[in-house]
Structure 1
Amino acid sequence: MTKIKFGTDGWRAIIAQEYTVDNVARVSLGVASWLKSNFDKPSIVIGHDCRFGGALFVETALKIFISQNIKVITTKKGFVSTPMVSLSTLNHSASLGVVITASHNPPSYNGYKLKGNFGGPLLPNEVAEIEVLIPDANSVDLAAIKITDRKFEDLLKYIDMEQEYLDAVNKEFDLEAIKSSGLKLAYDAMYGAGQSVIKRILPDLDFLHCDYNPSFMGQAPEPIAKNLTELSEFIKSKGNIDCALATDGDADRIGLYDANGEFVDSHHIILLLIHYLVKYKGLTGKVVTGFSSTPRIKAMCAHYGIEHVEVPIGFKYIAGIMADENEDVLLGGEESGGIAIKTHIPERDGIWIGLTIWEFMAKSGKSLDTLIQEVYEIVGEFAFERSDLHIDNELKEVIVEKCKTGKYNFFGKYKVERIEDMDGYKYHFDENRWLMIRPSGTEPVLRTYAEAPTLKEVRHILENCKLTIGA
C-alpha cells in the first residue's frame, strides 16, 4: 500500500492512480483518529473545489467521519473555495477543516488540505501527527454507510459556506466605493472555485473562464503569467481595463494585471498591501514572508518601522505565527501568490487580496501604476520572475546535491557573493540581484527564481542558471 505523505500544503496525487476512494478513506481514518485523540466532541468542516470527483471524495471522507461519530459540517451541493472552508471552520468552532483540492496542480491531480480551528492551515507538527495515524489499508465498508440513514442525522449539518464568505466580504469592504469609482475591472477564475462568489460580489466585471470545467482546459490553474496569456491579451484588446484579478483552482492564490496587460507579481502586491494598510489605513503589526520573497519587503518594513520575519516556504509556517494570539501580524505572504492580512482569517485568499487592491485604487483615486511608483519611491524599482524547470527526479537530485555542497560559484557572468539556505538555495550577486533554486515538494519540478532591476536582466539570470545546472 502506498505511503501517503503531506507536502507543503496537503496531500496531492494523480486521480485514479494514487488518489483513489480507498486512499481518501485511509487519510480520513487517520484524521478521525487524530480528532478523537485531541477533542472531546470533534467536529469537522469539509468542502471541495471544481476538480473532477470532488463530490465523490467529499462523500467518501464524510462517510468515514460519521462512521467514527464525528460531526460533519458541509454544503448541500456544489463547490467552494479553500478560504470559504477555513472561514466556516472558524465560524462554527469546528475542530478541523478539510478541503478536497489540489489547488494549482494540473487537472489530473486532486488533493486533501487540512485546516486548523483558527481558520488557517493546520500547523506542521499536527499534520505530522495525522500522517503517522494513516492506516495501511481502508478497513471501512463504505457501501454499507448510508448518509441518509436517520442514525446519522445529528452528525450532519448543512450550511451555505459561500453566503458566509459573502457576509464577511460585505462587512469588511467598501464595495460601493469600488462600484462607483469608474474603475473597469476584470476577473479570471481559471475555471476555479472563485467563479460564483465574485459574480455576487461585483456583478459588473468582465469575466473570463467563470464556468464549470473540471479539466481546466488541460492547463494547471496556477495564476502565473505563462498561464494567463488570454487574460493579458483580453486587457490589451479591450484597452480600457484598469486592473484584472486571477485566482487559482481553489481561489486562495492571486494573480494580478495592470492596465497595460502586464503581470504584477506577488512581491509587488505584498509591498502595495503594506503601503496601503500602514500609510492609508493606519494599521500596524509585523510582516511574515516566505524565503523566496524579495528582500525589498524588509526594506519596506524598515521604512514604516514594523518588524519583518522570514520563514521557510509553505503558508503553514506563516499561519502558525498569525494564529498565535500573542502575535500581532499585519500581513503574511509568499512568492507563489498566497497572501493573508489581519482584516481576515490567517489564510491565503486571492479574492480577498484582490478586493483589497481594488479598494486601494478606488479610495485613493490612483491607478495601479501610480501606486506601484509610490512603492518604488520607498524601495526602488525591481523585476522578478520564476521559471519552473520540468526535469526528471534523478537530475533534480543531482542539482540539489550540488547546491547543498556549494558547487555553484558563478551563473554565467554573475558571481555568487553569499548564499542563504533556509529553504532552497538563494544566491546573492549584489544588493539588487539574486537567484534562487528550490525543488518542488509535490511535482518533478525544479523552481528557479530571480530578481534584478529589469525584467530583461531577470530572464538573462534565469537562462544562465539553466545553462549552468544543465536543466
Structure 2
Amino acid sequence: MIKIKFGTDGWRAIIADDFTVENVKRVAYATALWLKKEFKEPSAVVGNDPRFAGPLFADVTTRVLASQGVKVFRAEDAFVSTPMISLGTVRKNASAGIIITASHNPPAYNGYKIKASYGGPATPDDIEKVESQIPDTIDLTLKSIADYQKDGLVEFVNLEDMYVAHVENNFDLEAIRTSGLGWAYDAMYGAGMNVMERLFPDITRIHSDHNPGFAGQAPEPIQRNLKEFEDIIKMSEGEIASGLVTDGDADRIGLYDQDGNFVDSHHILLLLIHYMYKVKGMKGEVYSTFSCTSKIQKLCDAYGLKNTVTKIGFKYICDLIVNSGNPFLVGGEESGGIAVAGHIPERDGIWIGLIIWEFIAKTGRSLSELVQEIYDVVGKFAVERYDLHVTEELKQQIISNSKTGKYTSFGSLKVARTEDMDGFKFFFEDESWVMIRPSGTEPVLRVYAEAPTSADSFKILDTVKGILLS
C-alpha cells in the first residue's frame, strides 16, 4: 500500500492508480477515528464534484464513516461544490465536511478534502491527526447505504437548495437580472454549473453540461485555459458586461471585463475592499497572502483598514478569519481563492463573482471603470508569473543564493530591500518587485513580478529568468 500524504488542500492522486476504492477506504477510516476522538457525537457532510467516479468514492466514504458510528449527511445532489459542502457543514452543525474533488487538477486526478466544523479548511494539526491514523491495509465489512439509512447513520440532504437559498438571501439578484446588462459564465464543466443555471437561466453559459473528463483540460480558471470564453466576450462587443469563471469544485474564480480583458485575483481583492468598505460601509481586517500585490496594503492604508500578510495557502487566511477574534472584511490569495465577511470562511468563486456583478449592476459603471477607481487610489499595476521547470540542484542553488543575500541586483534593477516570509521578495527602488518561491507540490520554481504595466512585469521576469538560469 502507498503512503497517503495530504498536500496544501487535501489528498490528490491519479484515479485507478493511487486514488482507488481501497485507498479511499483507508483515508475515510482514519477520518472516522479522528472524528470519534474529537467529538462526542461525530458527524460529517459528504459529497462529490462532477469528476469521474465521484459518486462511487463519496458512497465508499459514506459507508466507511457510518460503519464506525459517524452520522453522515450525504449530499443527494449528483455533484456539489466545495463551498456547498462547507456551508452544509455549518448548517447541519456537523463535525466535518468531506468532498471528493481534485479541484483544478487535470481530469486524471481525484481527491479528498476535509473541511472543519466552522465551514473552512481543516487545520494542519487536524490533517496530521488523520494522516497518522491511516492504516496500511484495511478489511471492513460494509453494509449498503440504504441499511445505514435505516440505522439512522445516513441522512440525505439537498445542498444545492441550501446554497441557492443562501445566495438569494444575501444578494440583490434582481439588480443583476434587471440591470439590462449581459452576463456570461464558464463552468469549466465544474460543480458551479447547476447553481448558476438556477440563479441566471437566461445568461450566456458555456461548458455547463456534465463532462467528468472536463473535455481533457484541467478546470483551472487561468487566462490560458479560457480562450473560447474570452473570444465570446470580445465578440459580444460590450454586450456582455462581465464574464465569471469557476474551477472544478467552484471555489476559485476567474473574471473578465466587458472588453474581454482578464481581471486577476489581485484586482478582484482590491475591488472587494473598495466595494465593501467604500460603497457598503463595512469594516474589518484584510488578510492577503505573501504573493499578492503590494497595492492591497496601499488601499488599506488609504481606507484606514488593517492588512495582515500571511504565508501562501488559504489555510492561513482561514485561520485568521476563525481565530483572530477581530472583525473580518476580505481575505484571499493570488491563485483565485477569496473569502469575504457575511459568508463561510471559505473560498467561493460564485459568491465572489456575484459581489462584483452586484457592484457593476448597482453603480452602473463598467468593470474597467471600477478598476480605474482602484488605480486612482493606488496607481496602475500588473502582477505576472513564470513557472520555471528547473532541476532540483539548480532550484536549491537559487534558494541558497536568495537566503544568503547574493542577489543584490538583477541586471540594472537594484534591490532596495528583501522580504522572506514565504519565498523571497526583492523590492526595487521604484517599489516594483520580483518574488522567487519553490512550489511545494511540483518540480517548479515560481517567479512573480509586479510593476506598473504587464509589459514592465514581463520585462522584469525575463531579466530575472535569464540571471537565475545562467
TM-score tier, shorter chain, comes to over 0.9
- Residue pair 2:86, 2:97 contacting (<8 A) in 1 also: yes
TM-superposed CA distance for 1:394, in Å, is: 5.4
Is 1:373 paired with 2:363? Answer: no
Q: What is the correspondence of 1:54-453 to structure 2 with a 5 Å cutoff?
A: 54-141=54-141, 144-149=142-147, 153-239=151-237, 240-324=239-323, 326-391=325-390, 393=392, 395-453=394-452
In the superposition, the TM-score normalised over structure 2's length comes to: 0.96
Cα gap change, 1:411 to 1:47, in 2 (>3 Å):
farther
Cα distance in 2, alignment partners of residues 21 and 150 from structure 1: 19
Cα distance in 2, alignment partners of residues 395 and 156 from structure 1: 52
TM-superposed CA distance for 1:302, in Å, is: 1.1
Q: How many percent of aligned residue pairs carry the same amino acid?
A: 54
SS of the aligned residue for 1:423 comes to: coil
Tell me the amino acid that sits aligned with residue 93 of structure 2. S
Cα distance in 2, alignment partners of residues 193 and 187 from structure 1: 13
- Residue pair 2:77, 2:159 contacting (<8 A) in 1 also: no
SS of the aligned residue for 1:408 comes to: coil
Corresponding position of 1:16: 16
Cα distance in 2, alignment partners of residues 468 and 15 from structure 1: 40
Cα distance in 2, alignment partners of residues 32 and 358 from structure 1: 41
Cα distance in 1, alignment partners of residues 439 and 162 from structure 2: 34
- Residue pair 1:435, 1:451 contacting (<8 A) in 2 also: yes
**Which stretches in structure 1 are left out of the alignment for 5+ residues?**
none
Tell me the amino acid that sits aligned with residue 254 of structure 2. G
Cα distance in 1, alignment partners of residues 225 and 429 from structure 2: 31
Cα distance in 2, alignment partners of residues 139 and 394 from structure 1: 43
Q: Which moved more, 1:117-126 or 1:390-399?
A: 390-399
Tell me the amino acid that sits aligned with residue 334 of structure 2. E
SS of the aligned residue for 1:242 comes to: strand
SS of the aligned residue for 1:415 comes to: strand
TM-superposed CA distance for 1:25, in Å, is: 1.3
- Residue pair 2:175, 2:362 contacting (<8 A) in 1 also: yes
Cα distance in 2, alignment partners of residues 311 and 237 from structure 1: 40
Cα distance in 2, alignment partners of residues 336 and 150 from structure 1: 40
**Which stretches in structure 2 are left out of the alignment for 5+ residues?**
none
Cα distance in 2, alignment partners of residues 401 and 136 from structure 1: 37
Cα distance in 2, alignment partners of residues 393 and 77 from structure 1: 44
Tell me the amino acid that sits aligned with residue 163 of structure 1. D
Cα distance in 2, alignment partners of residues 254 and 414 from structure 1: 33
- Residue pair 1:185, 1:242 contacting (<8 A) in 2 also: yes
Cα distance in 1, alignment partners of residues 91 and 100 from structure 2: 19
- Residue pair 1:12, 1:442 contacting (<8 A) in 2 also: no
Cα distance in 1, alignment partners of residues 199 and 167 from structure 2: 8
Cα gap change, 1:27 to 1:396, in 2 (>3 Å):
farther
- Residue pair 1:192, 1:221 contacting (<8 A) in 2 also: yes
Q: Deviations over 1:186-237 (max 9, x none)?
A: 1111111111110111111111111111222222111111111111111111
Cα gap change, 1:293 to 1:129, in 2 (>3 Å):
same
Q: Which runs of 4+ in 1 moved over 6 A?
A: none
Cα distance in 2, alignment partners of residues 196 and 127 from structure 1: 31
- Residue pair 2:76, 2:159 contacting (<8 A) in 1 also: no
Cα distance in 2, alignment partners of residues 446 and 312 from structure 1: 17
Q: Deviations over 1:358-417 (max 9, x none)?
A: 000111111111111111111111011223334555554444444344443333432322
The count of corresponding residues between Structure 1 and Structure 2 is: 469
Cα distance in 1, alignment partners of residues 393 and 112 from structure 2: 27
Cα distance in 1, alignment partners of residues 375 and 214 from structure 2: 36
SS of the aligned residue for 1:375 comes to: helix
Cα distance in 2, alignment partners of residues 459 and 348 from structure 1: 29
Q: Which moved more, 1:121-130 or 1:362-371?
A: 121-130
TM-superposed CA distance for 1:421, in Å, is: 1.6
Tell me the amino acid that sits aligned with residue 138 of structure 2. N
Cα gap change, 1:136 to 1:410, in 2 (>3 Å):
farther
Q: Which moved more, 1:89-98 or 1:205-214?
A: 205-214
Tell me the amino acid that sits aligned with residue 265 of structure 2. S
- Residue pair 1:235, 1:259 contacting (<8 A) in 2 also: yes
SS of the aligned residue for 2:350 comes to: helix
TM-superposed CA distance for 1:113, in Å, is: 1.0
- Residue pair 2:289, 2:313 contacting (<8 A) in 1 also: yes
Tell me the amino acid that sits aligned with residue 130 of structure 1. V
Corresponding position of 2:42: 42
Cα gap change, 1:150 to 1:350, in 2 (>3 Å):
closer
- Residue pair 1:124, 1:317 contacting (<8 A) in 2 also: no
Cα distance in 2, alignment partners of residues 377 and 308 from structure 1: 20
Q: Deviations over 1:101-155 (max 9, x none)?
A: 11111111111111111111112222222221222222324xx432222675400
Cα distance in 1, alignment partners of residues 136 and 77 from structure 2: 31
Cα distance in 1, alignment partners of residues 50 and 5 from structure 2: 23
Cα distance in 1, alignment partners of residues 324 and 355 from structure 2: 24
Corresponding position of 1:460: 459
